[in-house]
Amino acid sequence: MISSLYKFDYYLKNVIWGGDKISEYKNITLPGNDIGECWEISGIKEHESSVIGGDDSGLLLSQLIDKYGEKLVGKDVYNEFGNEFPILIKILDTRDKLSFQVHPGEEMAMLRHNCHGKTEMWYVVDAEPNAQIHAGFNRDITFDEYKAMIADGSLIDVVNCFHTKVGEIFLIEPGTVHAIGAGNLLIEVQQTSDITYRIFDYNRRDKNGKLRELHISQACDAINYAADPNIQLAPTEISGDTELFVNCSCFNVKKTDITGSKTLDFSARDCFTILMSIDADFSITAGGQTETLARGHAILVAAFVNTVIIAGNGKLLIVTMPE
């Protein structure tokens, strides 16, 4: 029998720019001090989430969708994506700066990699003093300028620089050159895609002493060379204690503040919902089932659920498909 709420295991990714902040944030033990990513809910085949608890414990996310179909994810989502879950939720800890990179759009990603493109959104959970995000060109540049700047390492000079603060949001669309700076702890909502073209990496070497691979030629026709100052977003709609952050073609993201108890009504929608705790522990009740949602963790609400009761004091991200 299908459950109303599902929890999943997480995947921890060791990277040269990772740190140890995810340990305290999620109250978990890390296998090292270079964990840059924690994948909360993932349909990526090599690192697919599996169910924790209940009758479906151990099932991969795709197997869960196979079993319950539109009751779990919604009719439209099931018809479009089948057993592929369309959204990936991550936590990022950038002890060191990331490379400058770009993601391909849907058409290019399908043609080259037989996968979806990558639109992503970041919510700043914590930021050290002078932490930065670089994203989008601050002026139009030409292809020849791009090649020259890659060669001499000056690309950073034509990319917008934002000093990050807790609670800020950034939307990174395909084609946008970007780099997350050191000292950021972020929640990332993105399409189910793991395609990244790395174009500049400060000549860093991996743990084996080799220069990290660059994808300069692949990136050339994926990049948007026009100026793009509109990376940092303000909520587009505010309704009481709920703010709409993003409603793009790939996902819908809201933030809601919980004080004591709150009931969320999903009866008007036939789609799954992900609840991601930003800063507190909550009790989530739906369809007679109650689960604890700890800080830095996510839970999947099945599409057939009409009402969810949340108890606690703090902030939640509400992630679903576009309205």
Q: What is the pLDDT along the chain (323 residues), one digit of tens a residue?
A: 999 999 999 999 999 999 999 999 999 999 889 999 999 999 999 999 999 999 999 999 999 999 999 999 999 999 999 999 999 999 999 999 999 999 999 999 999 999 999 999 999 999 999 999 999 999 999 999 999 998 898 999 999 999 999 999 999 999 999 999 999 999 999 999 999 999 999 888 877 888 888 998 899 999 999 998 777 676 666 777 899 999 999 999 999 999 999 999 999 999 999 999 999 999 999 999 999 999 999 999 999 999 999 999 999 999 999 98
pTM of the model: 0.95
Q: Identify the pLDDT of residue 323.
A: 84
In terms of domains, do 119 and 218 share one? Answer: yes
Q: Identify the pLDDT of residue 230.
A: 73
The answer to whether the CB of 317 falls within 8 A of the CB of 257 is: no
At residue 323, the 3 state secondary structure works out as: coil
Query: Which of 172, 198, 233 is where one domain is finished?
Result: 233
The answer to whether the CB of 185 falls within 8 A of the CB of 126 is: yes
In terms of domains, do 242 and 188 share one? Answer: no
In terms of domains, do 197 and 276 share one? Answer: no
Distance of CA 76 to the CA centre of its chain: 22
In terms of domains, do 224 and 108 share one? Answer: yes
Provide the token pair at 211.
């220069």
Q: Which domain holds residue 295?
A: 237-320
Q: How many domains does the chain have?
A: 2
In terms of domains, do 119 and 15 share one? Answer: yes
In terms of domains, do 12 and 161 share one? Answer: yes
In terms of domains, do 215 and 265 share one? Answer: no
The answer to whether the CB of 284 falls within 8 A of the CB of 275 is: yes
In terms of domains, do 57 and 173 share one? Answer: yes
Query: Which of 189, 215, 233 is where one domain is finished?
Result: 233
- Please count the other Cβ atoms lying within 10 Å of the Cβ belonging to residue 319: 24
Query: Which of 233, 267, 287 is where one domain is finished?
Result: 233
Q: Identify the pLDDT of residue 231.
A: 77
In terms of domains, do 251 and 225 share one? Answer: no
Q: What are the phi and psi torsion angles at 251 (to 5°)? A: -165, 165
In terms of domains, do 65 and 158 share one? Answer: yes
In terms of domains, do 229 and 242 share one? Answer: no
Q: Identify the pLDDT of residue 237.
A: 66
Helices (H), 43-187: 61-68, 70-73, 75-81, 106-113, 143-152
In which order are the strands placed within the sheet that holds 132-137?
159-163, 132-137, 178-180, 100-102, 197-200
**Where residue 248 sits, what CATH number does that domain have?**
2.60.120.10
**CA–CA gap between residue 115 and residue 201 (Å, rounded):** 25
In terms of domains, do 242 and 172 share one? Answer: no
